[in-house]
Amino acid sequence: MFRERFHESLESIRMSPIVTISEEVRRRAVDFEKSGNVMIRFQRGEIDLRTPEFIVDAAKKALDLGLTKYPSSGGEASLKQAIIGKLERDFGVTGVAPADVVVTYGGQQGLVLAFKLFSRGAGFSPVWSTVLENYAPYAQIDFEQVPLNEDFSIDYDKVEAAVRGRDFFYLNNPQNPTGKVFTREELETVVDICTRNNCFVISDEAYEKFVFDGLKHVSLTEFDQENVLSVFTFSKTFSMTGWRVGYVVTRRNEKLAKLLRLGGYTQTAGVTSFVQYAAARALDDVEASERAIKDMKAEFDRRRHALYNGLKDLPGVQVAKPQGAFYMFPNFGEVIPKGLQGEVRKKYIYELLIENGIACVYGACFGNYFTDHVRLSYSATPVEEIEEAAARFKRIFPTRAAA
Ligand code: PMP
């Protein structure tokens, strides 16, 4: 062969096991569904609802207006203004300048660019798998996983020890895969530890709008610190995963914003012009957007209750009721036969569930810890299916496993 090995930044990327799982689920669903029952899917993190009509209409209008030329690098002025307005409305944040905002291809490009600023990072485990499989290797980051406690609370000593000598801490709130919403106090403490250790915080706020039980999202843009960058996306809030639009907000740090802008320009020259126009409408039409988000949230809240009710009384299964995002991360440790180790243990619950027509993602996809857990995403599973899954859970886990 002419050449076998190429640059480490691409060679070291691994295909997410979640993609492999999705392919496997598709295959196994065909067999399972021959029995006349549906495979109930909890493995995907993608919303099954449509993008609200007023945003779709705005994109059509933008095309009619001829917004098909190169965009301004870093983002169109109108979208940046819309973002600045949103930050003030939602978080009471003032003083953000257009130059502090960089429009990106989804949260994903914002995170890739943010990781590329640095070489050594840390973040909680469990962690969204793409961080481990893609961003860290692509940006050649040495990434240390800091385990959350069993109840998903924070061990601050571990954070302190991890960030010493590191460039950044990745903090995702609300969190994928646990659905945990960190409190203001927890966030303040982590940011404070980072600041004392000359460490940046990459704040991933993709699920900002999905917080339940009357809670309000706390954005790290509120902290107004030069060592914090906040990454947002339209993907979840407006069910716009295929549009690929998001943004990064920096505070008081011209250098950071400039590097992100240059990086974005180098990769793509800028985000699709007519998509930016529609994204600006999504934020500026406050009434339509609040209505759309309210409906979506109400639907997720129904699903959250249905899934939690289906899990909470299962013998030997521990589940915390998540207050955010659209994931649940129960612990099945007590029902996995003792003595099982390695790959078999990692996939034991995943296999058991899929054999019974329930597709999930096993915990090892989210890092080195919490490998007896599985992630269940209710982003695309209607309540009736969740209730059917609950009935299946009861049949699968009738009593605490003895072994
Ligand atoms: N952060 C987290 C934690 C996510 O789960 C996702 C999507 N699954 C994203 C960011 C980015 O999504 P997108 O690139 O579609 O904006």
- What token pair was written down for 178? 């646990």
Protein residue closest via CA to atom 2 of ligand 1 = 206
Indicate which atom in ligand 1 lies nearest the CA of residue 245: 16
**Separation of CA 321 and ligand 1 centre (Å):** 22
* 169, 263, 321 from 313: Cα distances, Å: 36, 49, 12
Max Cα separation, the chain?
A: 68
Q: Kindly report, residue by residue over 279-288, the tens digit of the pLDDT.
A: 999 999 999 9
- Integer Cα distance of 210 and 79 in angstroms: 22
CA 45 to ligand 1: nearest atom: 8
Using a 6 Å cutoff on CB, does residue 241 contact ligand 1? yes
* Probe target for ligand 1 pocket from 112, 124, 207, 235, with the most ligand atoms within 8 Å of CB: 235
- Give the model confidence (pLDDT) of 176-220 as tens digits: 999 999 999 999 999 999 999 999 999 999 999 999 999 999 999
Q: Would the pLDDT of 401 be above 60?
A: no
What separation, in Å, do the N-terminal and C-terminal C-alpha atoms of the chain show? 52
The CA distance from 189 to 184, in Å, is 8
Whole-prediction pTM: 0.96
pLDDT of 47: 87
pLDDT above 60 for 336: yes
Residue identifier of the C-alpha nearest atom 4 of ligand 1 = 206
Residue 402 clears pLDDT 50, i.e. is over it: no
pLDDT for the residue numbered 44: 85
- Quick: pLDDT tens for 297-332: 999 999 999 999 999 999 999 999 999 999 999 999
Q: Cα(1) to centroid of ligand 1, in Å? A: 37
**Residue 16 — very low, low, confident or very high, per pLDDT cuts 50/70/90?**
confident
